[in-house]
């Protein structure tokens, strides 16, 4: 028996965090989630798997475009024509989605109910799938606790959309503990919600397949689904299959000592090459972070567009389609001292004052108000990421901003010194 | 920190230059240097010294990077000193003067945490920086914070930077402004969001459209069903309506057919066949008529043409004469020329005949031409003759040369003597050489011998106690080692005894000495009235008494000497009285000082015992000394035979050892002497043997060294070998030459034989060619050349003769031909010359041939007319036969009845076909009904009712059609909408745009926050600096400003502008206040300088001072203000070291004048 386990497909959801650049490969980005899902169906048909399990978050919650649902129906139709059933569990996004409620799905698709755990079996296969869909967006109950006892003699699969416990980057929905799952007596837990692939346990297997296509720099590395092979009622193999068309990677390059722009590029070049190789033929989406104390600092800082173009040129020389998402120059000039209050001169006094201001919570009230004013004009989603629940500026954001501001002043001082 | 000494060891153009900056009391160091003197280099070197040499320093033009070094001695404020060197390296750039690496932090205590920017920026000031600072202050518009910060820091333009940050932030966002980057990004976001809303396909829309689609499809189905029913009904009515006319026609046709039942059947083409026959009959008649006329015309033509057949019969000859005519005319011209040539050739042959010396006719001459074979044979022999003769000459020459060379070789060989036998000399040489290099060996032995000899002599000479030579030394009767050892032992024993005795004596002497000292001490306390002293005093008294009695009582003469022996010069009586007194005193004290006396007695006893011991020891020592002397005597005696006065035995042991070594050397010398002599003997022996082997008259003298003899012998042997080789080569050459001579002689004989044979064959060949037997090859050669000309001339003659004959023959043939034809067919031309007659004959022939052609054409036309006539007759008959057959078919006798009969038959057939066609049509249009059913249906129907039904159905269908159109439009619209929705409207793209815009917005917001925060922090930071520094800095700067402006300003004051910002103003002595913008440029510069100097003072007051380096600051100051500036620098010099670089001597003089020699130190610098 062989089946596909996937989750977090987020059909038609946009790539996050890219300020539109003219050189962005829009055609590649467009439909990337659809192409990934079609590739999954292609694989199912080609390999003649016995069924497909989708462990939640087919759609983005607020996404209302009915064509997205129609696309899903069409893909399920392809599976139906090949006689391959699909078991769908609704995650937090699906629960919120209008599409989930309005679509009519082909007969080969069975959806786990949201009121209580439900068990599906398949004719001719000793398999039982247990699962409970999310009824609402925020399910904070432990759903797994109510999952039924395993069906004796069958290969039992628990399908669950959960953040487990302590997946910090993900909303803490349907929390449960690993030990709880492994103790349930199931053979395989097909989980969803966490976007990074993880095999938390073997025999019984507890698997997050990760999402199907990375959509931001936070979702790096190969993305896809898992093909699970079951022999004699036991998991024989869990094999990840990558179907992403765009592959995200963060490249941190220490260019300390690079004497000029060219030398810095020379250090970056092999790293880009390695990242492109690692992208395995996908369109690489690369964020380059240059670090270190280097004489090239000033040029790199002064010429961000040139730097971006050069990096892109390097990348394009190694690959026809590649995307430099961002080049972050986090370097320092070699001779720039740590500006601090300890310096005995006016600069020392200046930084003493600045550090005092940063430390003094009250001193920056005006600034906070001023910054909050801007944040108040941002769209709600964006605003939420920058404000506390009480509507104040997020302290960690303020702290980061002040750090950057201090560094910026440091650079200005450095430039002023250089102007002497 | 102060720099005491700066040493520019390798830097710029400096090599080992030193600048002294010491002097605790010096407030201002003025370094005076001309342009190019290295002022800037020195200035830069100070920075490089303290903070490291720049990676790409421009000062490595004279010394390599690796060589650059600056050294200095520096002193911290707390008195610590450091003597160090700075190198240009990647690391370990600090060294002490012994080149030991110093840690990079070694300078930190001296710099107090200041970096190079602080040093260069705050502690370094030049004219340009001063000017820029003044300008910056003007730009600051009196902004106090900014002015204080920029003058008091090493950083320029920070306020401008703050402004730039604010401006950049403003460009991104300002609450009240709309056209900012942020708003644009927000607009883009909202736009994208709106587009997403617009483009999104909603489920409700989809469902609504799906319902409309279903409805339209249902209506479409209903309409379609009704239209199908209508179609069927309308089809039936239409069928009936369509069939009715056909049925009527069928019925009519069937009736007409019945009327023609009796009409005869005729072929379908009967009428055309009839018409054809009639036509062909008429055509045949026309043809007959035309053929008759043509035949008649042809015949008339034939009769009218006369053809001269006789002339035509001669046509070949006439044509031939025409062809010959041209050539005949040419020959008439050519023939005389050829005859002339012929005569010339005959004449030439006659000449050749004479040149050959023959008296022959031309014909005879031609016959006499030698055959080609004979000619070729002779020519071959002639050419062979030359070769044969040449071969004989060559062979003779070669034979002579070979013979000569053979004779020479024999002569050379004879001149080389046969080698003598050198075996003896060779054996001797080998034997001598078997001994090796005797000369070298001998030399080596001599050298070794001499070296040993010299060494031996040196050692013998160096050997102490021995005045003689080595040989005598060996023979000298010296004691052996055992004897010496024995002496050494007994001597040592004797010496030990002696030393012990002396030791004891010394001890006794010491005891005596101690006793003496104790007695002396005792006696120093007063004379010890010892018994002995008493006795002595009494004895003296008695002696005196005896003398007194003898002189004065007995009156005896007492000798003066005797008295003198007893009494001092004062006289016997006095002496006697004194001795009486002393004896009495002694006797008294002896009784009184018994203890001292006892002590004295004890001491005296000890001393006596010690004296005894000393004596005994002395005796023993003397005995021991005697023994020692005896032994030494014996020792010396043992060496006497050898004539040596020996050293002590221990030393003589070493002497003996050295002697033994010398004797060993001596033996080695003897061996070497033997070897050397043996070698010399061998050399002499070899010499004799070699001499004997060498030729007696050899140039080598009898006293020549062996090596020379050896070389000579080897040379002689080499020479003999060489001679033998040479002779061998000569013999070989001689033999080869002799062989060559013999071969050359044989070759000559062969060549001569060939020549003889040729001579013999030549006669035969001449005879065969019919030439005189006496002719030489040269003569024959010339004759053959003439014969060749004869042959060519004879050939030419033959050809000419032949051509003339041919031409004459052609002429005759032509004339005969023309005459013959003329006589036969044109007698009128008998008198015309053939060349004129021939063309005219040709003309006549042409006319005759034209007439003949006309006659033939007429004949052919006549034949054709006859053929046409025959053909027309056949056609006529055939037409008649066809008409006859038609008449039979139509059952009539005349042609007139045929046509009506044919018409009836055709009508009957047509009606039958029509009936059949109508029936088929009816069945075909009866929608599957049989003919009978269709006829029955039609018969039953009412045509009017049918028409009405059709109209009704048409109306209903038209109405349905309109509905169909509307429904299908709805259907299409719904389907299109569905397809459109299924395709999507690009909402995902718009969503991506929205995400992009959101990212841009976030980035913009973030950037704005950072810029805004930085601007705010920087502004507040500068303000904080102002608040902290304002008081002391402004006060001190005000004082300096007054000093620098020489009282033009009294100081500085702080006020606030209209925006309530603190600003800096200058204060005049009268209290008037002046803003920076109102100050002169010079005043601004001085204000900046005042602020800077005040800032430096404040800095050095709080941290480790650094030297203040001023670079030609006062170059643009008038003398008064320059003086004031120098005073300000001297004032600063109290707080930290101040160095002023200048290339103006007057500045240096001014400084000296201002500060005095102890306070201002001026020195020149020069690279």
Model confidence at A338: pLDDT above 60:
no
Comparing A44 with A346, which gets the higher pLDDT? Answer: A44
Task: From B102, B100, B14, B99, select the one nearest B52 (Cα to Cα).
Answer: B102
Q: Where are the beta strands (DSSP E) in A172-312?
A: 188-192, 198-201, 205-208, 224-231, 234-242, 246-254, 283-293
B1062-1067 and B1051-1056 beta bridge pairing:
antiparallel
Residues whose CB is less than 8 angstroms from the CB of residue B88 and which lie 6 or more positions away in sequence, other chains included? B53, B57, B60, B65, B66, B67, B68, B69
Q: Give the closest of A343, A363, A364 to B113, CB-based.
A: A343
* pLDDT digit string, tens, across residues A144-160: 999 999 999 999 999 99
- The answer to whether the Cα torsion of B802, B803, B806, B812 is positive or negative is negative
Task: Name the 3-class secondary structure at A389.
Answer: coil
Q: What is the pLDDT at residue A19?
A: 58
Task: Report yes or no: A105 at the B interface, CB cutoff 8 Å.
Answer: no
Phi, psi of A21 (to 5 degrees): -115, 145
Closest-CA residue in chain A for B122? A345
Name the minimum distance, in Å, from the CA of A346 to any CA of chain B.
5
CB A98 within 8 A of CB A65: no
Q: What is the pLDDT at residue B570?
A: 65
* pLDDT digit string, tens, across residues B852-864: 888 888 889 889 9
Residues whose CB is less than 8 angstroms from the CB of residue A409 and which lie 6 or more positions away in sequence, other chains included? A339, A354, B1014, B1017, B1018, B1021
Q: State whether A20 and B1000 contact (CB < 8 Å).
A: yes
Cα–Cα distance, B457 to B667 (Å, whole number): 13
Q: What is the pLDDT at residue B568?
A: 66
* pLDDT digit string, tens, across residues A41-86: 999 999 999 999 999 999 888 888 889 999 999 999 999 999 999 9
Cα–Cα distance, B549 to B555 (Å, whole number): 8
Task: From B169, B186, B177, B165, select the one nearest B1002 (Cα to Cα).
Answer: B186
Percentage of the residues of chain B whose pLDDT score is greater than 90: 9
* pLDDT digit string, tens, across residues B363-399: 888 887 888 888 888 888 888 888 888 889 999 999 9
Q: Which of residues 154-173 of B touch A (CB under 8 A)?
A: 154-158, 161-162, 165, 173
Q: State whether B206 and A412 contact (CB < 8 Å).
A: no
DSSP A387: B
Tokens read off for B199: 């483009």
Under the banding of pLDDT at 50, 70 and 90, the label for residue B424 is confident
Element (H, E) at A78: helix A66-81
* pLDDT digit string, tens, across residues A91-111: 988 887 877 777 889 999 999
Name the minimum distance, in Å, from the CA of A337 to any CA of chain B.
8
* pLDDT digit string, tens, across residues B169-179: 888 888 777 77
- Radius of gyration of the CA atoms of chain A, in A: 26
* pLDDT digit string, tens, across residues B987-997: 888 888 888 88
Tokens read off for B1161: 């130190």
Residues whose CB is less than 8 angstroms from the CB of residue B202 and which lie 6 or more positions away in sequence, other chains included? A64, A66
Task: From B890, B1021, B1149, select the one nearest B148 (Cα to Cα).
Answer: B1021
Q: What is the pLDDT at residue A85?
A: 96
Q: State whether B182 and A356 contact (CB < 8 Å).
A: no
Percentage of the residues of chain B whose pLDDT score is greater than 70: 99
Q: What is the pLDDT at residue B827?
A: 87
Q: What is the ipTM score, two decimals?
A: 0.86
Closest-CA residue in chain B for A32? B988
Under the banding of pLDDT at 50, 70 and 90, the label for residue B7 is very high
Tokens read off for B195: 């587009």
Which residues on chain A are in Cβ contact (under 8 Å) with B207? 102
* pLDDT digit string, tens, across residues B1132-1167: 998 899 999 888 888 888 888 888 878 888 888 876
Cα separation values, A118 from A152, A158, A159, A387, Å: 16, 10, 10, 40
Element (H, E) at B739: helix B706-769
Q: State whether A66 and B173 contact (CB < 8 Å).
A: no
Percentage of the residues of chain A whose pLDDT score is greater than 70: 93
Q: What is the pLDDT at residue B203?
A: 84
Mean pLDDT of A322-328: 87
| pTM as predicted | 0.51
Q: What is the DSSP string of B289-320?
A: HHHHHHHHHHHHHHHH----HHHHHTHHHHHH
Residues whose CB is less than 8 angstroms from the CB of residue B1149 and which lie 6 or more positions away in sequence, other chains included? none
Tokens read off for B286: 């026309």
Q: Give the closest of A67, A344, A354 to B1103, CB-based.
A: A344
Average pLDDT, chain B: 85
Q: Give the closest of B121, B205, B1017 to A405, CB-based.
A: B1017
Average pLDDT, chain A: 87
Name the minimum distance, in Å, from the CA of A407 to any CA of chain B.
9
CB B26 within 8 A of CB B1125: no
Phi, psi of B54 (to 5 degrees): -50, 145
Q: What is the pLDDT at residue A344?
A: 57
Q: State whether A374 and B173 contact (CB < 8 Å).
A: yes
Q: Which of B120, B153, B204, B986 would you mutate first to test chain A, the one with the most A CBs within 10 A? A: B153
Q: What is the DSSP string of A196-210?
A: S-EEEETTTEEEE--
Task: Report yes or no: B719 at the A interface, CB cutoff 8 Å.
Answer: no
């Amino acid at each position: 028996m062989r089946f596909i386990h996937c989750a977090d497909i987020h059909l038609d959801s946009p790539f996050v965090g890219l300020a539109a650049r003219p050189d962005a490969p829009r055609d590649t980005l467009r439909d990337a989630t659809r192409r990934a899902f079609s590739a999954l169906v292609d694989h199912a048909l080609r390999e003649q798997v016995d069924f497909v399990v989708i462990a939640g978050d087919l759609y983005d919650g607020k996404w209302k475009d009915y064509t997205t649902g129609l696309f899903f129906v069409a893909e399920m139709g392809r599976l139906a024509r090949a006689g391959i059933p699909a078991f769908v569990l609704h995650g937090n996004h699906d629960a919120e989605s209008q599409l989930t409620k309005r679509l009519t799905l082909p007969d080969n698709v069975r959806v786990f109910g949201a009121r209580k755990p439900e068990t599906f079996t398949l004719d001719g296969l000793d398999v039982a799938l247990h699962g409970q869909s999310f009824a609402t967006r925020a399910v904070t109950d432990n759903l797994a606790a109510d999952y039924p006892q395993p069906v004796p003699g069958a290969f039992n699969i628990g399908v669950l959309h959960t953040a487990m416990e302590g997946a910090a980057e993900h909303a803490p929905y349907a929390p449960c503990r690993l030990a709880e799952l492994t103790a349930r007596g199931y053979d395989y837990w097909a989980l969803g919600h966490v976007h990074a692939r993880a095999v938390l346990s073997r025999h019984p297997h507890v698997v997050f397949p990760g999402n199907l296509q990375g959509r931001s720099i936070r979702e790096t590395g190969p993305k896809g689904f898992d093909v699970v092979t079951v022999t004699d009622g036991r998991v024989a193999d869990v094999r990840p299959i990558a179907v992403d068309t765009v592959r995200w990677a963060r490249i941190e390059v220490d260019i300390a000592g690079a004497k000029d722009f060219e030398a810095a590029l020379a250090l970056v070049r092999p790293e880009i090459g390695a990242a492109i190789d690692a992208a395995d033929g996908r369109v690489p989406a690369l964020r380059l972070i240059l670090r270190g104390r280097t004489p090239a600092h000033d040029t790199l800082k002064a010429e961000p567009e040139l730097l971006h173009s050069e990096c892109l040129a390097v990348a394009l020389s190694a690959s026809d389609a590649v995307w430099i998402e961002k080049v972050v120059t986090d370097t320092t000039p070699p001779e720039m001292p740590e500006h601090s209050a300890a310096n005995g001169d006016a600069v020392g006094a200046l930084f003493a004052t600045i550090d005092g201001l940063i430390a003094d919570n009250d001193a920056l009230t005006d600034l906070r108000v001023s910054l909050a004013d801007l944040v108040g004009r941002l769209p709600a989603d964006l605003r939420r990421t920058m404000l506390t629940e009480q509507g104040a500026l997020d302290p960690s954001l303020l702290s980061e901003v002040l750090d950057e501001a201090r560094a910026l002043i440091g650079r200005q001082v450095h430039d002023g010194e250089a102007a002497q | 920190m102060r720099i005491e000494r700066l040493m520019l060891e390798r830097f710029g153009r400096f090599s080992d230059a030193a600048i002294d900056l010491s002097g605790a009391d010096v407030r201002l160091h003025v370094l005076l240097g001309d342009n190019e003197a290295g002022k800037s280099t020195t200035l830069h070197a100070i920075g490089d010294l303290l903070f490291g040499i720049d990676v790409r320093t421009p000062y490595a033009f004279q010394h390599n990077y690796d060589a650059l070094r600056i050294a200095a001695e520096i002193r911290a404020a707390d008195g610590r000193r450091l003597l160090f060197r700075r190198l240009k390296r990647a690391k370990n750039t600090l060294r002490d003067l012994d080149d030991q690496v110093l840690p990079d932090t070694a300078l930190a205590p001296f710099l107090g945490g200041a970096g190079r920017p602080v040093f260069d920026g705050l502690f370094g000031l030049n004219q340009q920086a001063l000017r820029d600072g003044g300008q910056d202050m003007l730009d600051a518009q009196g902004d106090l914070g900014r002015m204080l910060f920029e003058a008091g820091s090493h950083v320029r333009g920070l306020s401008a930077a703050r402004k730039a940050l604010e401006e950049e932030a403003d460009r991104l966002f300002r609450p009240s402004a709309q056209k900012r980057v942020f708003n644009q990004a927000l607009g883009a976001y909202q736009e994208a969001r709106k587009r997403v809303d617009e483009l999104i396909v909603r489920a409700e829309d989809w469902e609504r459209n799906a319902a409309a689609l279903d409805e339209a499809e249902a209506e479409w189905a209903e309409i379609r069903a009704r239209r199908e029913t209508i179609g069927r009904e309308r089809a039936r009515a239409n069928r009936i309506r369509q069939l009715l006319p056909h049925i009527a026609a069928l019925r009519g046709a069937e009736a007409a057919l019945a009327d023609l039942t009796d009409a005869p059947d005729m072929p379908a083409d009967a009428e055309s066949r009839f018409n054809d026959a009639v036509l062909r009959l008429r055509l045949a008649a026309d043809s007959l008529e035309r053929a008759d006329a043509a035949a008649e015309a042809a015949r008339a033509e034939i009769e009218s043409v006369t053809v001269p057949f006789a002339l035509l019969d001669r046509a070949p000859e006439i044509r031939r004469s025409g062809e010959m005519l041209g050539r005949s005319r040419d020959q008439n011209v050519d023939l005389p020329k050829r005859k002339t040539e012929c005569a010339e050739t005959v004449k030439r042959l006659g000449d050749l005949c004479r040149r050959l010396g023959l008296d022959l006719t031309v014909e005879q001459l031609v016959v006499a031409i030698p055959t080609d074979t004979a000619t070729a044979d002779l020519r071959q022999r002639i050419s062979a003759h030359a070769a044969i003769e040449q071969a004989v000459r060559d062979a003779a020459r070669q034979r002579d040369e070979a013979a000569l060379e053979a004779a020479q070789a024999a002569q050379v060989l004879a001149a080389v003597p046969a080698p003598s036998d050198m075996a003896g000399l060779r054996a001797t040489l080998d034997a001598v050489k078997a001994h090796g290099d005797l000369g070298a060996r001998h030399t080596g032995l001599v050298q070794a011998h001499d070296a040993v000899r010299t060494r031996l002599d040196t050692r013998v000479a160096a050997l102490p106690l021995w005045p003689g030579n080595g040989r005598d030394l060996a023979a000298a009767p010296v004691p052996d080692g055992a004897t010496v050892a024995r002496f050494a032992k007994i001597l040592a024993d004797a010496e030990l005894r002696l030393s012990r005795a002396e030791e004891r004596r010394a001890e006794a002497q010491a005891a005596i000495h101690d006793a003496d000292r104790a007695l002396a001490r005792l006696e120093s306390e007063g004379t010890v009235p010892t018994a002995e002293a008493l006795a002595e005093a009494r004895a003296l008294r008695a002696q005196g008494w005896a003398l007194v009695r003898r002189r004065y009582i007995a009156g005896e003469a007492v000798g003066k000497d005797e008295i003198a022996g007893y009494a001092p010069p004062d006289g016997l009586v006095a002496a006697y009285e004194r001795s009486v007194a002393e004896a009495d005193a002694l006797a008294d004290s002896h009784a009184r000082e018994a203890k001292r006396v006892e002590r004295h007695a004890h001491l005296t006893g000890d001393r006596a015992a010690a004296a005894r011991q000393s004596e005994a020891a002395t005796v023993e020592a003397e005995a021991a000394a005697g023994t020692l002397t005896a032994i030494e005597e014996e020792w010396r005696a043992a060496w006497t035979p050898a004539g040596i006065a020996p050293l002590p035995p221990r030393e003589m042991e070493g002497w003996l050892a050295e002697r033994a070594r010398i004797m060993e050397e001596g033996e080695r010398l003897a061996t070497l002497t033997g070897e050397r002599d043996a070698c010399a003997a061998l050399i002499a022996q070899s010499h004799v043997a070699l001499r004997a082997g060498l030729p007696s008259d050899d140039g080598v003298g009898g006293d020549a060294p062996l090596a020379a003899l050896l070389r000579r012998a080897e040379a002689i042997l080499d020479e003999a070998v060489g001679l033998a080789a040479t002779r061998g080569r000569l013999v070989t050459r001689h033999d080869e030459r002799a062989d060559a001579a013999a071969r050359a002689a044989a070759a000559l004989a062969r060549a001569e034989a060939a020549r003889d044979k040729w001579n013999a064959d030549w006669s035969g060949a001449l005879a065969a060619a019919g030439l005189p037997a006496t002719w030489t090859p040269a003569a024959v050669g010339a004759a053959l050349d003439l014969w060749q000309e004869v042959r060519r001339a004879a050939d030419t003659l033959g050809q000419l003769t032949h051509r003339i004959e041919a031409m004459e023959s052609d002429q005759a043939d032509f004339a005969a031909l023309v005459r013959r034809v003329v006589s036969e067919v044109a007698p009128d031309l008998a008198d015309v010359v053939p060349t004129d007659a021939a063309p005219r004959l040709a003309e006549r022939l042409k006319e005759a041939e034209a007439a003949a052609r006309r006659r033939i054409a007429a004949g052919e036309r006549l034949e054709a007319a006859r053929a046409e006539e025959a053909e027309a007759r056949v056609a006529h008959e055939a037409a008649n036969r066809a008409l006859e057959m038609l008449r039979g078919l139509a059952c009539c006798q005349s042609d007139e009845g045929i046509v009506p009969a044919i018409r009836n038959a055709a009508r009957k057939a047509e009606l039958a076909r029509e009936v059949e066609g109508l029936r088929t049509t009816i069945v075909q249009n009866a929608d599957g009904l049989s003919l009978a059913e269709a006829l029955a249906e039609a018969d039953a129907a009412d045509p009017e009712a049918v028409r009405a039904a059709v109209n009704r159905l048409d109306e209903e269908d038209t109405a349905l059609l309109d509905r169909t159109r509307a429904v299908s439009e709805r259907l299409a619209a719904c389907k299109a909408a569905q397809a459109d929705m299924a395709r999507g409207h690009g909402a995902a793209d718009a969503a991506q745009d929205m995400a992009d815009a959101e990212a841009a917005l976030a980035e913009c917001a973030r950037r704005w926050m950072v810029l805004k925060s930085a601007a705010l922090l920087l502004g507040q930071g500068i303000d904080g600096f102002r608040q902290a520094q304002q008081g002391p800095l402004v006060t001190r700067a005000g004082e300096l400003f007054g000093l620098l402006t020489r009282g033009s300003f009294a100081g500085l004051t702080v006020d606030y502008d209209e925006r309530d910002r603190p600003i800096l103003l200058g204060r005049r002595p009268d209290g008037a206040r002046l803003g920076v913008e109102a100050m002169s440029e010079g005043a601004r510069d001085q204000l900046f300088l005042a602020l800077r100097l005040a800032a430096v003072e404040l800095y050095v007051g709080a941290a480790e001072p650094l030297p203040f380096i001023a670079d030609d600051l006062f170059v643009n100051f008038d003398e008064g203000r320059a003086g004031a500036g120098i005073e300000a620098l001297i004032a600063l010099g109290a707080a930290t070291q101040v160095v002023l670089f200048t290339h103006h001597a007057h500045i240096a003089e001014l400084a000296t004048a201002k500060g005095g020699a102890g306070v201002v130190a001026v020195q020149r610098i020069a690279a």
